[in-house]
Every structure is written in C-alpha cells, then in structure tokens.
Structure 1
Amino acid sequence: MAVPSVPSVPSVTELLDRQRAAFLSDGIPGPATRIDRVSRLQSMILDNTEAIVTALAEDFGTRAREVSVLADVVGCMGDLEYQKKHLRSWMRTRSHGWLLNRSGLRQRIRHDPLGVVGVMGPWNFPVQLTMLPSGTALAAGNRVMVRPSEVTAVTTQLLADLAPQYFPAGEMTILTDEQADGPTFASLGFDHLFFTGSPAVGALVAQVAGKNLVPATLELGGKNPAVVDRSADLSRAAQRIAASRMINGGQVCMCPDYVLVPEESQDAFVGEVMAQWRKAFPHILSNGDYTSVINDRHYDHVVGLIDDAVELGARRSHHVPSGEELPDRATRKIPPTLLLGVPGDAKVNREEIFGPVLVVHPYRELSDALDYVNARPHPLTVYWYGADNERYDQLQRATRSGSVNANDFTLNFIGSDLPFGGVGRSGTGAYRGRAGFATFTHARGVAFSRWPVSLARLMAPPFSRSDARLVNLQLAAFRRRNRRRKSSP
C-alpha cells in the first residue's frame, strides 16, 4: 500500500522568496486590494477575540479580560480604520514644481510599497504590537512576515494557526519560534524590518539587519520620567501616576519608571500613591485583575532591582494586603512598590523596570529635574503633571523624548494624527497614522524632461566658453545673495 506523502513545510527563506515573487508578479496593489487585506486582518482579530483573550491569560498566568480586549484587540482597530480611510489620498502621486513644469520639466513623487516587510513583536502586548504594524504595512501595499514573541508562546501559536484562514502565505504569514528564532528572522533579506522590544535586543536586531542593509524601524523602551510641577493638583497627579504604573502590571513601554516631585510635596505624594494602591487592590494574590509578571526570569529581574536598591540604602514603601505574603513566586505577583532615596549606583536607576515599581526623586528647581532627565538616555515619553505654563514649555524645549504627555497616560495614542516612536535609545522611526504609511513606503522621485537642452551635455566635457560663462553666472548670483545676507542687520 502506498504511503501518503507528507507535504514539506517551506523554510523561512522560501516563504520570503514566495512573498517577494508574488509582490513582483502582482504589481503594486490598488486601494481596494489594500483595504480588503486590512479588513481581513481586522476580521481575524475580531472573529477570534475570545480565543485571543484565553491565550493571553494562559501566557501571563493572570491577566484581566478588560486589559486584553482594550489593549490587544480594540487597540488595533482605530488606527487600522484610519489607514483604510486615508490610504487613497496618501497613495496619490503628487506633482511638484509648477514653474519647472511650465518650462518642460515635470517632477512628481510616488509613494510606492517597499516589498516584503518583516515584523518582530514583543510579549507585553503580543497582538496589538504585531498586528497594528502589520496592518499598516498591508495598507501601504506590502507583503508581511510576522514573528511574535516566543515568550507568549500560546498566543503566538494561535495567531500562526489563524493567519492561513484569512491570508494566503504570499500575502501575510505568521511564524512561531520553531520556524524561525529571533536572530534567524532578523537576518532575512527583508525590504524593511519593524521591531518592537527592549533597547538591548533592538541594538542586536539592528546589527543583524544591517549586515544585509535592511532598513529597520525600532520601537524600543526606556525609563520614562513623570515630572510633577508645583502647579499640579497633587492628589490627582498621584492617583493617575499610580494607576499608570499598574497598567498590565507595569509591563508597558509607556509606563512611568520614575517620578520627579517638588521636595516639599514628596511625603504628600507618596501618601496619595499608597492610598490609591490600597484602594485599587484590597487583595492581590487571588485578584484576577492584577496582572502577573510574564515569567520567572522577569519576576527575578524586578525583584532583584528592588532588593538591590534596598541593600544600597533605598527606602521601600509597598502595599501588601493583610494576610498575604508578597512577592509571590508561584503566582509571579509583586506588590505595588515605591522606592525613595535611591542611591545613584542602584540598578533601578539604569535598567527599565517593566513591573509594578516606581522610583520617586525630589527636586528643588525644575532645572534640577530636567538636568536629571537629560543625564540619561532619551526616553520614549516624558509625562508632565501641571498647568500649561512656561515651565511646561521649558520641559519641551529642554528635553528630548519620543513624545510628551501632560496630565494622563499615553494621550498621544488617542486618535491617529500623532506619530508614535522613540528617539535615540528609545527607538528610531515612527508609525501610526500617516507616519506609518510613510515608514512602509518609498517616496520615489520621478522626473520627465521635455527640455531642448541636455543637463548631461552641460555637465560633461568638453566644456566650452559658453559653459564657463553659464557656470560663472550661477556662482555670481549666489555670491551676491550671500553678500546681501551678510550685510543685512
């Protein structure tokens, strides 16, 4: 009896080759095709929301349904709708240089897709932070290969199983760690690589991609400061900062890592934060709303940062409900913790925490707070709590960060008009809204000449006396302009 053949599983290189061949053979897709692809991606997420929520809960151990739905499902939809609404306008070829066009030289800018885009995602929001850039790349006309994090293995496997039900492999494919580990995926010859993760891993990804001259967008993290101004409503600021630190158990790249508060208000601020945490979490170990730390390795990292700071002389103030013993390794739950008086050489001052811990530093003058921020790598965001005053303007002028958010958490995510991305060690490049479309397209200059004269002839030897006169006339014109500039007051 004949033994049925087992279909071979294509390698990641073969998948890349197939996507590139499909991209070249099918040509640049029109708006209807792009909208259909983005809509199918939305359907893949919305049709399977409950399965996604269950997978995320299994990966985290404890994670509230509300967090998974709001962040990983709903969090994708608004910007994808925005992409579909505006992509026809963004795709349009635009003419430039009206006067040159009248003279016989037509110049235009096309916005062409890049080809095959690779997307590498993190574990903290493994659906939103892979599917949103993937959808943006599809809207821009590309094919997409996605590798979600191996840390959230259950969610990654679910996405990999769902993708073929909505997309042929030549349009979009989702890979597991068994198909391609991180270094292998980053080393592929994509037309663009989009990575979200830590600065340390991002540096390695950029290095590997650079060997193939693959351009990379890096959405990284950093130690985000929250600056509390003397004009702030201290109670409101403390409550919002306390809540911001606890979103997804503090495992968010936009969470505040440390707070700079006027020295005379530090004790009152600490009291308000602790009161907010006690109110929000009357119990923790059995609390299904209290997100667990993702795995044992990261649990040890966060606990280690706290222990190191305390051993060096920091004061710890944490909320441990009556009758509970925390931190608890079995549930990977760490109590919400404030660290005060942290010595400068403590690890928590250098390493991103990614957990339910806030460091509080007092300041005397705003310039002292800004100097502290500027002495460290540029963060993904800076939070400001206070009035829209001159000091707020000073903070914007004097610091560098991916964004600035005043008086609440991640306001720059509301709508799709603002780009999202870091600067320096917190990232390179941006996405969301038109910024994402620009990231995944090439602004391609196209020029057509009807001039009777040849630019090539003017610039190639032999050079005549008339050529020399023309060059000298242009040089003289710019010299006159320069002299007038220097002589003007």
Structure 2
Amino acid sequence: MNMPLELNPNEQLQQILAKQQASYRQQPAPTLDERKQQLEALKAALLARQEAIITALSQDYGHRSKDDSRISDIMPCINNINYTLKHLKTWMKPSRRHAGMLLAPAKITVQYQPVGVVGIIVPWNFPVMLSIGPLITALAAGNRAMLKLSEFTPHTNAVLKQLLSSLFDETLVAVIEGEAEVAAAFSSLPFDHLLFTGSTTVGRHVMRAAAANLTPVTLELGGKSPVIVAPDMPLDEAVERMIYGKCLNAGQICVAPDYVLIPKGKVDGFKLAFQTKFNAMYGSISNNADYGAIINERQFDRLITILEDAKVKGAQITSANGEAIDNQQRKIPTQLITQVNDEMILMQDEIFGPLLPIIEYDTLNDAIDYVNDRPRPLALYIMSFNEATQQHILSHTHSGGVCINETIFHVAADDAPFGGIGPSGMGHYHGKEGFLTMSHAKTILSRGKLNTGKLVHPPYGNPIQKLLMKLFLR
C-alpha cells in the first residue's frame, strides 16, 4: 500500500486481503528457491538502504543513535535472513512419523504448509526489526503478508514502503499506515495468522478482534521484566551486565530491565556502580550522539508523569549522571529510583523508558516471591555466578525468557524461540519456531493396496476384532 488509508479503511483493507488470498490460492506452495530469492532480495535491499533507514529512525525519534539503530534494527534482520537461508530447506522437508502397529501398514508424514495471509502489527520502538523480522518468517513459511506500521514512525515507514514495494507486489507484501481506526480495522480482518507486538492492554483488544474470526494470534507483549541480583554477585559486575539492556534505545524496549531486586544493604553500592558505569558509557547526554531521545512528546510526558507521581508518593530519585532531564531534546538520563511502593504508577505498569526502580530484599526467596506475586514477565534476568542459585531461581519462576548474567541478548538468538507467557504474550517466533508458527503442520496418512482398515468395520464382534481389542486394550 503506497498511501495511508483515509476513507473506508475497512473496505480498502478487505480489498487488499482479498487480492492476497486470491494470489495465495493461485500459488499455495512457493518453492524453496522462490522463498530464498525473496529473502536474498530483501537482504540486499536492507544493506543498500541502511543509511536511509538509520537517518529516518533518527528523524522519527528526534535523535536516535546510529549505532543503536544499526545494532538493534538492521543487524538482527540480516542475521535472521542468513540463518533462515541456511536452514530453510531442512524446515520445509516433510517429517516422517511412526504409524504404530494399530495403523500398520501405513505411512505417516507431517507436511509444513503455508497458512495463507499473515497480518503483522508493528510497534514504534523498533519499527524495522519488528516489521522485517516477522516478514522474514512469513515469507520463509511461504505466506503472503500485510504489515500495519506505527503512525509514530512516518519517516521510517516511508523508507520501508519504498523498499518493500520495489521488491514485492502488493499481492505478496502490502504495507499499511494509519491511526487507531485503521489499526482496529486491520486487527478485525480474517487473517490466517495475526502477529501483534505492543502493550498488554492493546494486545487484549487485538486478541478480542481476532477471536471473532477464529484467527490464531501470536502476541508479543511486555510487562515488568525484573533483574534479580543475587547475594554472591559483585555489584560492579551486575551493573556491567545489565546497564546496556536498560540504556539501549533509552530503555524503550519490551525486554528492558524494568526493576532491580537488590540484597538488603547493597542499594547505595548498586547506585554508585550504576552511576560510575553510566558516566563511563555516556557522560553528558544532551549532545551525545550515542544516547537516544524519547520517541515523542506523548511518551516523554508519560514518563515525566510517572516520575512526578513516584516523587509525590515518597520515592527518592537520582539521576545516573547527575544531570537534569533535557526537556527540549526529550532526553532522560537513567533515573535511579528507591523507596518505591505499589501505590506508584511506576510499579504498576511497564515503564518503557529510562526509569529504574531499585528494591531491597531480605532473602533470595523474598525476591522470588516478589516476582511471582506479579504478572509473569516477558524476560527475567538473573545476576549470579552460583549455579545452585541460578537453578533455584529458574525452577521457581515463570517468564517468557531468561538471561543469566546478561540482559536482552536472548532476543538475538536465531536458533531459539522468543515469546511471552500469560500477560506478557503467547506463542513464539524466531528461527524454526517462527517457521512452525506460520505454517500448518498437516498430518498425512497414506495406505497402499493392502486395506487393513476394513478389519474394524461393522458388524462388530468377529474373532479378528476381539483379538485386536485384547492386543491394544491392555
């Protein structure tokens, strides 16, 4: 789609979907070579236009680090394509299964068939990785795709639309823009699969809309991803392992550390270690090309409101570099926040920005209880070199994914599924799991000339059937 939808968005979207559905019916099973050609063309286009993408991302944010964009938006897409090209032949190969004595002689295979048309709803925080990434998976699985881009990233959208329309006909890949009305109409379409990345609140609306069509959904949501710093972990080391995950894209990441649980008596040491490391990485942020801005005034005002609410309710707030918030550039140095409580907005909703609550705990089990008393997060971060401690936390908590002595990098693992659990999401994509998510696993039973199925036909009670009953009902 080369223009934003303005009038009758539902009707226009339905027309695009109908074209893609018709195209799928004409070619329901793209070959391995066709899929690889699509992915190779997409890779070449991303590499050729990476500077334009980086510039557009910075325009949308007011300022965004070029390296942040290259590392977190473009590089994951290239790695994803490379990995997919390497393994796609194996993924597409039908899987041979065992028929067992009851069905013998018969051949059982599972064929992985494209589901059809996949809808992809893209958030604003990583508009390239979270549009192109799912698209890679959809194309690898042989599908058509419609992408609804965020209205908050118009410059990036323009580059993506031009890039994708130069490679793919609209019957294969369609790009949609528009405000909330268009998003609502998009999520109500009868897709064969719908992937949404965004907030838990909006995710509920998306799932409700999809349910009317019995559309399967993959929901990549978020929540408050905790960091548990175990008693054995040196504070300097803990900070070094988690600070990048909090500061990348100014904390506007669904898997960013949302709050930190610290052993009692170590909060001041943790704050000092964080400040020291932050200053070494960034120093002053106002005119620092490496530190990103908050995407827009709406999100900036939301974060300021959260800070003011916490301060009024008794929180202590410390700037990581000692500088004030830069209102003009919408830049916020990480705010280290102590003496927090559940009455604060800060501790109720996902922060999605450079605010970091720090909470003391008495025992490790108290920290685990704190996490388990709240909705299951998209990610959990364990800071400990003690294997028994690591296993204890792993076995007593639930989360979409885990990093041990690291943060956020599990998302970059191409050979592993990514997804949430409960309020942080459902379903998986990335790698083979993504291919399976966007494929239909069709079981095929095949018999030759020998027909053993007639042995169970009525009239019942013949000697062969009695023997079968004795053989299999035991």
* TM-score with structure 2 setting the length: 0.93
Q: Distance in 1 between matches of 2:54 and 2:129?
A: 12
The aligned counterpart of 1:452 is 451
The alignment status of 1:170 with 2:175, answered yes or no, reads: no
The aligned counterpart of 1:424 is 422
Q: Distance in 1 between matches of 2:202 and 2:211?
A: 14
SS at match of 1:181: helix
The aligned counterpart of 2:439 is 441
SS at match of 1:382: strand
What is the correspondence of 1:186-201 to structure 2 with a 5 Å cutoff? Answer: 186-201=187-202
Q: By how many angstroms is 1:15 displaced? A: 1.3
The aligned counterpart of 1:236 is 237
Q: Distance in 2 between matches of 1:148 and 1:442?
A: 26
What is the correspondence of 1:199-238 to structure 2 with a 5 Å cutoff? Answer: 199-238=200-239
Structure 1 consecutive aligned stretches of length 4 or more whose deviation exceeds 4 Å: 98-102, 465-468
The aligned counterpart of 2:38 is 37
Amino acid at match of 2:408: T
Listed one character per residue, the Cα deviations across residues 287-342 of structure 1 (whole Å, up to 9, x for unaligned) are: 222211111111111111111111111111114556xxx33333222231011110
Q: By how many angstroms is 1:468 displaced? A: 7.1
The aligned counterpart of 1:286 is 287
**Are the equivalent residues in 1 in contact too, given 2:80–2:136 (CA < 8 A)?**
no
Amino acid at match of 1:243: Y
Instruction: Assess, with a 3 A threshold, how the Cα gap between structure 1 residues 29 and 205 changes in structure 2: closer, same or farther.
Output: same
Amino acid at match of 2:166: Q
The aligned counterpart of 2:3 is none
**Are the equivalent residues in 1 in contact too, given 2:429–2:435 (CA < 8 A)?**
yes
Q: Distance in 2 between matches of 1:180 and 1:267?
A: 48
Q: Structure 1: which 5+ residue stretches go unaligned?
A: 1-8, 479-489
Instruction: Assess, with a 3 A threshold, how the Cα gap between structure 1 residues 17 and 65 changes in structure 2: closer, same or farther.
Output: same
**Are the equivalent residues in 2 in contact too, given 1:101–1:107 (CA < 8 A)?**
no
Q: By how many angstroms is 1:466 displaced? A: 4.4
Amino acid at match of 1:93: P
Amino acid at match of 1:97: H
What is the correspondence of 1:153-168 to structure 2 with a 5 Å cutoff? Answer: 153-168=154-169
Q: Distance in 1 between matches of 2:463 and 2:250?
A: 74
Amino acid at match of 1:445: T
> What's the Cα RMSD here?
2.2
**Are the equivalent residues in 1 in contact too, given 2:278–2:320 (CA < 8 A)?**
yes
SS at match of 2:266: helix
Deviates more, 1:158-167 or 1:410-419: 410-419
Q: By how many angstroms is 1:388 displaced? A: 4.0
Deviates more, 1:283-292 or 1:344-353: 283-292
**Are the equivalent residues in 2 in contact too, given 1:79–1:415 (CA < 8 A)?**
no
Q: Distance in 1 between matches of 2:28 and 2:69?
A: 37
The aligned counterpart of 1:360 is 358
The aligned counterpart of 2:94 is 93
The aligned counterpart of 1:48 is 49
**Are the equivalent residues in 2 in contact too, given 1:282–1:321 (CA < 8 A)?**
no
Q: Percent identity?
A: 34
Listed one character per residue, the Cα deviations across residues 401-457 of structure 1 (whole Å, up to 9, x for unaligned) are: 0111011222323441211111111111111111111111111100012443336x7
Q: By how many angstroms is 1:229 displaced? A: 1.1
Instruction: Assess, with a 3 A threshold, how the Cα gap between structure 1 residues 89 and 81 changes in structure 2: closer, same or farther.
Output: same
Amino acid at match of 1:343: N
Instruction: Assess, with a 3 A threshold, how the Cα gap between structure 1 residues 101 and 20 changes in structure 2: closer, same or farther.
Output: farther
The aligned counterpart of 1:255 is 256
The aligned counterpart of 1:473 is 470
The aligned counterpart of 1:482 is none
Amino acid at match of 1:418: A
The aligned counterpart of 1:62 is 63
Amino acid at match of 1:395: I
The aligned counterpart of 1:140 is 141
The aligned counterpart of 1:275 is 276
Instruction: Assess, with a 3 A threshold, how the Cα gap between structure 1 residues 294 and 345 changes in structure 2: closer, same or farther.
Output: same
SS at match of 2:209: helix
Amino acid at match of 1:83: T
Amino acid at match of 1:375: D
Q: Distance in 1 between matches of 2:189 and 2:471?
A: 48
Q: Distance in 2 between matches of 1:373 and 1:239?
A: 22
Deviates more, 1:150-159 or 1:249-258: 150-159
Q: Distance in 1 between matches of 2:104 and 2:94?
A: 20
The aligned counterpart of 1:27 is 28
The aligned counterpart of 1:3 is none
Amino acid at match of 2:37: D
Q: By how many angstroms is 1:178 displaced? A: 6.8
Q: Distance in 1 between matches of 2:340 and 2:179?
A: 42
Q: By how many angstroms is 1:75 displaced? A: 1.6
The aligned counterpart of 2:378 is 380
Q: By how many angstroms is 1:101 displaced? A: 10
Amino acid at match of 2:453: S
Deviates more, 1:23-32 or 1:123-132: 23-32
**Structure number with larger C-alpha Rg:** 1
Q: Distance in 1 between matches of 2:187 and 2:265?
A: 49
Q: Distance in 2 between matches of 1:405 and 1:287?
A: 29
